[in-house]
Structure 1
Amino acid sequence: MSGDERSVTVAGIDCGTNSIRLKIARVDAHGMHDIVPRVLRVIRLGQDVDKTHRFADEALERAYDAAREFAAILAGYQVDGLRFVATSATRDAANRDDFENGIERILGVRPEVIPGTEEADLSFLGATSVVPRDDLAAPFLVVDLGGGSTELVMGGDGVSSPDTQVQAAFSMNIGSVRMTERHLHTDPPTQDEIDAAIADIDEHIDEAFATVPAGRTRTIIGVSGTVTTMTALALGLKEYDHRAVDGVRMSCADAYAVDDRFLRMSREDRRAYKTIHPGRIDVVGGGALIWSRVLAKVSQAAETEHGETIDSYVASEHGLLDGIVLDYGRRLLARKA
């Protein structure tokens, strides 16, 4: 780095319905350079929120334990700023003030409960900031499949508008935790439960497609733990390896097969797969079902729109958390200008 080149060191925390993540990076005019790439803890903050509309006491304690761990990590670095972003579960919880106050006491910053539209924009920024866009056909549809919500974000075509520019976005109120708690009660789930979940998912996707022109999609980029976990399983990995998953192109046919297999598998049988994080064992089937339905319906829309089915997707380790850090770093740099 040249002596006059400005940079900032920032930390971002992404607190979702199922997991919480920390990233520390240096941001300059050339982009983002990892210092602590990612620390992930599964806290299930959204436990029963879909039903009670409140955070459970034990879920709050899990969140606070993770926050204390993150505070200890942050103490080892000199950061110019920390942004804590909370998403779907926190938007829905009546006692969110308790959560926000507790986090502020531990970390010194108050969580920002962002709307689904901003979550979508940041996920798109994170995914497209690292993907090798020269090798992929635009427009990109970024799918961020979380525990409580799933964002669909469409970018430009690279001709009339930049492929990194968001053209349309929609946040669906469906996710791996929410679908599991709402529909998949039996272990393994019954066909009636699966059918009810599919009807629910499809209704949300159809609503999203009224806003997001999914038929224009040329490349699907899937981000989040569900997508990367199911991709790792489709690759046949015995243990999760982010280097093998990040950026890989996976056929939709392989995705449908592995998604359906693990959806219909008992939790005890899933537990034998070290590829699946223990905190996802009980909800990964619900996430897999959402992922299969999104892939199928986007492909159908694309075939109707421009006569070509989409038979593959790109899995990415980069999404909302990367977008939080990169966006925050750029804003801090702009203030220093």
Structure 2
Amino acid sequence: MTSVTVGGIDCGTNSIRLMVATYDGDGFTVDVPRIMRVVRLGQGIDETHRFAADALERTYAACREFADVLREHPVDALRFVATSATRDAENREDFENTVESILGVRPDVIPGTEEARLSFLGATSVVDQLSDGHAQAPYLVVDLGGGSTEVVLGGVGEHAGEVDAAYSMNVGSVRMTERHLVSDPPTEEQIGQASADIDAHIDTAFATVPAGRARTIIGVSGTVTTMTGLAQGLATYDRDAVDGAVVRIDDACATDDRILRMTRAERAQYPVIHPGRIDVIGGGALVWTRVLRRVQQAAADEGHAIDSYIASEHGLLDGIVRDLAVRTFAGRRAA
């Protein structure tokens, strides 16, 4: 056997993604680039702790679409990873059963620590290409999702892909929007309450993750890449322009603040923002600003400065695929 082909599915709070790749022991070839659908699986879950019926149907429709793709691109192994929303859902067994009936694989509901490890693996696997080799370790990878945000420090020493410390915060674009930013546009009081909520979670996270040690921030996820495109002034979303972009933190925070205070109708005028993100991107922008500013402060406290971040299109989904491919390849060779 010279290679294995694997599929990875990342099912988050706001979106679901599929990728298929082949691994030959030396490198990866992407057979099916990321297919992303905004399904809002976590709709209302922060309040109800249950999946809504329409959210489930949107997700099942995407799963059926992915099943069609996988019939055209057979895989040796498939992993369906479910994250924050599914961890919180009381009726997740029904969801798991239906997904298994559609795709033939049961969702793997991973803890935040595993999500952090896989996000770090995906983000750092291409960091040298993204930054032309100029990114400096330790890296702090920030994966800002709909329901949770992972902060992961690592990349030092012989095992550059390994995690030194990680924490998963229960803050994200959907959760903060539904919990606090309920007006259109949000009021200053709501923004203040959301900021305090986010900061309290960051306090807890940074007690575990020494973020001040980081020399490079790598931001992944749809919120980060969308806000990066806006900070760059792109007319439409351009994956190649965003992937690897180095953005000044001051510029990013100014863009975040402007988008946060817009109405939904005003945000809809920006083609860079996916239609499925228009109503929650403000919440994500606020989380991103608070994390960036707190990392800056933590670095300053350690005696060095961070004034920019690197945006990456490579995160949890890449980590799922790479991890599965390497394990499957090793298992086949050992058999």
Q: Could you tell me the TM-score, scaled by structure 2's length? A: 0.97
CA distance, structure 1, for counterparts of residue 162 and residue 104 of structure 2: 33
Alignment of 1:1-337 (within 5 A): 6-132=2-128, 134-158=133-157, 161-305=158-302, 307-337=303-333
The residue identity in structure 1 corresponding to 2:45 is: V
The residue identity in structure 1 corresponding to 2:106 is: R
Report deviation, 1:162. 3.1
Unaligned runs of 5+ residues in structure 2 are: none
Report deviation, 1:95. 0.1
Cα displacement string for residues 6-31 of structure 1 (whole angstroms, at most 9, x for unaligned residues): 21100000000000000000112223
CA distance, structure 2, for counterparts of residue 120 and residue 217 of structure 1: 16
Report deviation, 1:334. 1.0
2:295 partner SS: helix
CA distance, structure 2, for counterparts of residue 299 and residue 65 of structure 1: 42
2:151 partner SS: strand
Report deviation, 1:308. 1.7
The residue identity in structure 1 corresponding to 2:53 is: D
CA distance, structure 2, for counterparts of residue 247 and residue 37 of structure 1: 17
CA distance, structure 2, for counterparts of residue 324 and residue 116 of structure 1: 14
2:35 partner SS: strand
The residue identity in structure 1 corresponding to 2:68 is: A
CA distance, structure 2, for counterparts of residue 163 and residue 212 of structure 1: 17
Report deviation, 1:157. 2.8
The residue identity in structure 2 corresponding to 1:323 is: G
Question: For the Cα contact (< 8 Å) 1:31–1:326, is it kept in 2?
Answer: no
The residue identity in structure 2 corresponding to 1:57 is: A
CA distance, structure 1, for counterparts of residue 38 and residue 56 of structure 2: 12
Unaligned runs of 5+ residues in structure 1 are: none
The residue identity in structure 2 corresponding to 1:14 is: D
CA distance, structure 2, for counterparts of residue 126 and residue 54 of structure 1: 30
CA distance, structure 2, for counterparts of residue 279 and residue 30 of structure 1: 37
The residue identity in structure 2 corresponding to 1:104 is: E
Aligned residues: 330
Question: For the Cα contact (< 8 Å) 1:219–1:310, is it kept in 2?
Answer: yes
State, as a whole percentage, how many aligned pairs show the same letter.
67
Question: For the Cα contact (< 8 Å) 1:172–1:204, is it kept in 2?
Answer: yes
Report deviation, 1:77. 1.1
Question: For the Cα contact (< 8 Å) 1:84–1:110, is it kept in 2?
Answer: yes
1:78 partner SS: coil
CA distance, structure 1, for counterparts of residue 25 and residue 295 of structure 2: 35
Q: Could you tell me the TM-score, scaled by structure 1's length? A: 0.96
The residue identity in structure 2 corresponding to 1:84 is: F
The residue identity in structure 2 corresponding to 1:111 is: P
